[in-house]
Structure 1
Amino acid sequence: MRHKAVLRLSALLGALALAAACQEDPPPGEVVTVPSGRALSLIDIVTNAPGPAGATARFRFLAPGLSPDDAEAAAADMQALCDSFAIKRIDGMVPAPQQIVISFASEAVPFGEAAPEVVQFFESYRPENGACAWEVF
């Protein structure tokens, strides 16, 4: 009886490993293309910290060389990322995100920590009919 339980557990763990390997999400560090041509890499996706609108999916990107002068280009890149990258990845999230936040940082900063020396931009969007509607943040 114990042998069967061990086999079942092994099979379950193997299936979970295969399912994880089949995810569409790029692994942290994978480079993502944006319209400005800036090389971004995914830091992480945070879903366990609610925002002002409730369930929130935060897509955090490393943007080396980001400067305060890049705000306009970054805003266009964030909209493009929300429409082509983030919106596809919120399907099936529980609870369903009511808000998507895209952020760029010139250096990796742990989520929730202040880093005044690091240039960071944030934009907020509302998922609406399969697209991202920009919201004042």
Structure 2
Amino acid sequence: MTFAMRLLIPAACFALLLPPAARAEQVQVPSGQPVEFHEVIRDAPGLGLAYRFRFVAPDLARGVTFEVAEADMMHLCTSYALPRLPNLGPAPNHVVISLSERQIDFGETVPDIVQFFEVYRPEGTACVWDGF
């Protein structure tokens, strides 16, 4: 085994050991637009116990309307977020689903990036829209 081969083997194995959130995960939505899971943030100030599921949807930059994104966000809440909420400990009061045309830091405001957010109350196997 050459020195170069010995370096490549651990690097290839490392990619397999990354936690799921560190790898791109494509998620299917009703509109068919490409959506990728970005991260989940727990307990950020503002809504009490809440889980914020953040997704990247590059087609938002190409004119996906809020109405289309709204249906996708409801789907992401019920089919993606709810099954991933913890079964032990206190239940979250809210689930926030966000779509952004590209990854940005949580809380960052970038005027030229399209972002959509919706807040839901988890009730059993359903997400109930919780507009403020």
TM-score grouping bracket, smaller chain normalisation: 0.7 to 0.9
Corresponding position: 1:64 with 2:58? yes
CA-to-partner distance for each residue in 1:88-127, whole Å, 9 max, x for gaps?
A: 1113365421100000001111001111110000001001
Counterpart code for 2:117: F
Q: Which residue of 1 aligns with 2:9?
A: none
Correspondent of 1:129 among 119, 124, 128: 124
Correspondent of 1:111 among 93, 106, 109: 106
- Secondary structure of the residue aligned to 2:36 is strand
TM-score by length of 2: 0.77
How has the CA–CA distance of structure 1 residues 76 and 55 changed in structure 2, closer, same or farther, with 3 Å as cutoff?
A: same
Assess if the C-alpha contact under 8 Å between 2:28 and 2:34 holds in 1. Answer: yes
How has the CA–CA distance of structure 1 residues 93 and 106 changed in structure 2, closer, same or farther, with 3 Å as cutoff?
A: farther
- Secondary structure of the residue aligned to 1:74 is helix
Instruction: Give the 4+ runs in structure 1 shifted more than 6 A.
Output: none
Q: Which residue of 2 aligns with 1:30?
A: 25
Q: Which residue of 2 aligns with 1:90?
A: 85
How has the CA–CA distance of structure 1 residues 40 and 47 changed in structure 2, closer, same or farther, with 3 Å as cutoff?
A: same
TM-score by length of 1: 0.74
Unpaired stretches in structure 1, ≥5 consecutive residues: 1-20
Identity among equivalent positions (%) equals: 45
Assess if the C-alpha contact under 8 Å between 1:104 and 1:121 holds in 2. Answer: yes
Counterpart code for 2:130: E
